[in-house]
């Protein structure tokens, strides 16, 4: 080896290695890795492959991973939970710092491109991909901070954390947050539109547990803190409508609660011939359940290979107390199957069946405190039984002090004095496109009549549904004008816009 070679190996090579930046790759997402099984490989529309002039140049000034149409990672970068609509962004930016977001927003503004935030990609209508073609997607899944303040019993949590990650990390210190059940849902889109789950009747919705937030707004300003005293208008908006186009939230400070050593899982199931009695009994007694109990009932078609009506719940306490909490339901409805199991908190969290990417359509309904009439139950059961595609009705029981005692005027979340939220799901995988379209049409027809006759006027915004009429009022009730004013203040040029973002003027 020549002297020059030795010199290069000893001095320059280590320097070059130290300076080389690691090759950036998009974060691997296990839950969306289903290529060719549930979702078709889609065709990009040709206009999306034509580069937007100066976009690459503008973004090249940022040291950030940006994936463009035609790049090898593009298909993976636009995989989200639902694959029914399939929108094609002009770029997906994997931001890791606040400055990345600010500079990306600067490019979007300069080049007149709409922008959208994406945290966990679980929007029912794929709004994390912009809700239309040609949007700049700013993915914030790398915002993974979790800092606990043991004195104030709060935690600053980065919006990119999945609910499962949060439950696991906080559990190490004996705490939990009150939020949804699906472990792969992202905090950013979830907690800002409601967020209800395992402990909702005891500790409330995730959005009600937000004490502070940080956000990059449409002009690139980083605002912190957003709370009851600073930017209180924005604080009002982001608790219920924070996922509807006010800016890119980077962290939320949430109240945390101690994990109990024993939590009891409850399963109560019924056969097809028992459904009506079970449903009526449930509607009558469930609102009085002890608030340590949170749960949902699932109604499936009588032709499915499982129980038709299943109540699944968690009780924050031991089996004996859990049995007493549901005693009346059991005595009055005589279930076919009953199971109580004492578990740890993480045992409960990890028991939720994993969700994989697939096409689906969901509508939602808030149910008034009176529950359901017999006629409503029959209509729902008949729809589920007769649907050509598989249909499932899931009813989350809300009725509790934790939800109803909060004033409707304190935040953008209005669904307070209710029995629960009903979600009517059509999982569409395995059906041809024609059958999918037919099933969705029938679903939407049914929804129109069912909502007009049997439920309240309102729907739940975290179960976003682009076919919902009068959606502004159904999601945000009396707050629509106030939300529009706040939108005008923080995003006057409507940078963050899609079909169901808060508009800058009444439609
Ligand atoms: C399988 C599954 C299970 C679910 N389970 C529950 C449940 O148990 N309880 C419940 O209440 N809900 C549940 N949901 C609904 C879920 O809460 C919403 O779909 C939620 O909006 C998803 O958030 P995300 O960040 O994962 O999605 P994304 O698609 O990333 O975002 C959803 C919306 O929020 C906006 N957004 C995302 N991040 C930010 C941010 N950082 N700043 C500002 N806006 C942002 C996006 O632009 C988009 O409009 C479930 C959904 C699915 C698909």
Ligand 1 centroid vs 83 CA: distance in angstroms?
Answer: 15
Return the higher-pLDDT residue of 3 and 80. 80
In tens, the pLDDT along 455-478 reads 999 999 999 999 999 999 999 999
Q: Is the CB of 180 under 6 A from ligand 1?
A: yes
Closest approach atom of ligand 1 to CA 460 = 11
Closest approach atom of ligand 1 to CA 250 = 41
Ligand 1 centroid vs 195 CA: distance in angstroms?
Answer: 9
- Would you state the pLDDT for residue 14? 43
Q: Is the CB of 451 under 6 A from ligand 1?
A: no
In tens, the pLDDT along 233-279 reads 999 999 999 999 999 999 999 999 999 999 999 999 999 999 999 99
Ligand 1 centroid vs 462 CA: distance in angstroms?
Answer: 6
Q: Is the CB of 181 under 6 A from ligand 1?
A: yes
Cβ atoms 216, 247 nearer than 8 A:
yes
- The pLDDT of 80-105, averaged and rounded, is 96
The DSSP code for 10 is I
Cβ atoms 249, 188 nearer than 8 A:
yes
In tens, the pLDDT along 420-436 reads 999 999 999 989 989 99
In tens, the pLDDT along 266-309 reads 999 999 999 999 999 999 999 999 999 999 999 998 877 777 89
pLDDT band of residue 25 (cuts 50, 70, 90) is: confident
Q: Please, what is the average pLDDT of the chain?
A: 93
Cβ atoms 364, 422 nearer than 8 A:
yes
Phi, psi dihedrals of residue 317, rounded to the nearest 5°:
160, -175
Spell out the domains of the chain, with CATH numbers in brackets.
25-139 (3.30.465.10), 146-259+476-490 (3.30.465.10), 262-294+310-343 (3.30.70)
Nearest of 409, 506, 504, 500 to residue 460 by alpha carbon: 500
- The pLDDT of 487-491, averaged and rounded, is 98
DSSP string, 307-376: -SEEEEEEESS-HHHHHHHTHHHHHHH--SEEEEEEE-HHHHHHTSPP---B-EEEEEEEEPTT---HHH
Report the length, in residues, of the chain.
Answer: 507
In tens, the pLDDT along 158-212 reads 999 999 999 999 999 999 999 999 999 999 999 999 999 999 999 999 999 999 9
- Alpha-carbon span 96 to 353, nearest angstrom: 30
pLDDT band of residue 46 (cuts 50, 70, 90) is: confident
Cβ atoms 93, 64 nearer than 8 A:
yes
Closest approach atom of ligand 1 to CA 194 = 11
- Would you state the pLDDT for residue 34? 59
Q: Exposure string (b/e) for 77-112, b if CB count within 10 Å is 16 or more?
A: bbbbbbbbbbbbbbbbbbbbebebbbbbbbbbeebe
Ligand 1 centroid vs 186 CA: distance in angstroms?
Answer: 6
- Would you state the pLDDT for residue 22? 47
């Amino acid at each position: 080896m020549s002297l020059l070679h030795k010199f290069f190996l000893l001095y320059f090579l280590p320097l070059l290695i130290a300076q080389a930046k690691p090759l950036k790759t998009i974060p691997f997402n296990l839950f969306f890795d289903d290529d060719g099984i549930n979702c078709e490989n889609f065709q990009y529309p040709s206009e999306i492959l034509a580069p937007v002039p100066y976009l690459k140049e503008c973004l090249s000034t940022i040291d950030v991973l940006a994936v463009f149409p035609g790049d090898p990672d593009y298909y993976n970068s636009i995989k989200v939970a639902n694959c029914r609509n399939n929108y094609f962004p002009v770029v997906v930016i994997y931001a890791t710092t606040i400055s990345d977001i600010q500079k990306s927003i600067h490019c979007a503004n300069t080049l007149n491109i709409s922008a959208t935030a994406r945290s966990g990609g679980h929007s029912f209508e794929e709004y994390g991909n912009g809700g239309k073609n040609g949007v700049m997607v700013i993915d914030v899944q790398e915002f993974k901070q979790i800092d606990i303040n043991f004195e104030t019993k709060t935690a600053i949590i980065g919006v990119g954390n999945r609910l499962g990650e949060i439950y696991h990390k906080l559990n190490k210190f004996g705490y939990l947050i009150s939020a949804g059940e699906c472990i792969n849902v992202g905090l950013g889109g979830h907690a800002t539109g409601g967020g209800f789950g395992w402990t909702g009747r005891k500790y409330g919705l995730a959005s009600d547990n937000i004490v502070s937030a940080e956000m990059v707004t449409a002009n690139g300003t980083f605002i912190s803190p957003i709370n009851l005293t600073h930017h209180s208008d924005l604080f009002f908006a982001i608790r219920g409508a924070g996922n509807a186009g006010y800016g890119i939230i980077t962290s939320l400070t949430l109240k945390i609660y101690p994990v109990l050593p024993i939590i009891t899982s409850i399963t109560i199931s019924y056969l097809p011939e028992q459904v009506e009695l079970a449903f009526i009994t449930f509607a009558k007694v469930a609102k009085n359940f002890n608030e340590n109990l949170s749960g949902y009932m699932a109604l499936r078609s009588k032709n499915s290979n499982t129980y038709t009506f299943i109540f699944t719940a968690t009780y924050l306490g031991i089996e004996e107390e859990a049995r007493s909490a549901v005693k009346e339901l059991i005595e009055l409805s005589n279930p076919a199957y009953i199971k109580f199991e004492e578990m740890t908190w993480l045992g409960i969290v990890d028991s939720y069946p994993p969700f994989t990417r697939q096409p689906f359509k969901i509508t939602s309904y808030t149910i008034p405190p009176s529950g359901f009439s017999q006629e409503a139950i029959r209509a729902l059961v008949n729809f589920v039984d007769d649907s050509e595609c598989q249909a499932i009705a899931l009813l989350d029981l809300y009725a509790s002090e934790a939800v109803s005692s909060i004033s409707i005027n304190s935040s953008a979340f209005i669904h307070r004095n209710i029995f629960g939220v009903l979600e009517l799901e059509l999982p569409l995988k395995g059906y041809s496109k024609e059958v999918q379209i037919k099933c969705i049409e029938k679903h939407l027809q049914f929804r129109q009549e069912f909502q007009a006759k049997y439920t309240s006027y309102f729907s739940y915004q975290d179960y976003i549904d682009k076919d919902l009429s009068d959606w502004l009022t159904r999601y945000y009730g009396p707050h629509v004008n106030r939300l529009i004013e706040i939108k005008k203040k923080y995003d006057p040029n409507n940078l963050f816009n899609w079909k169901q973002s808060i508009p800058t003027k009444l439609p």
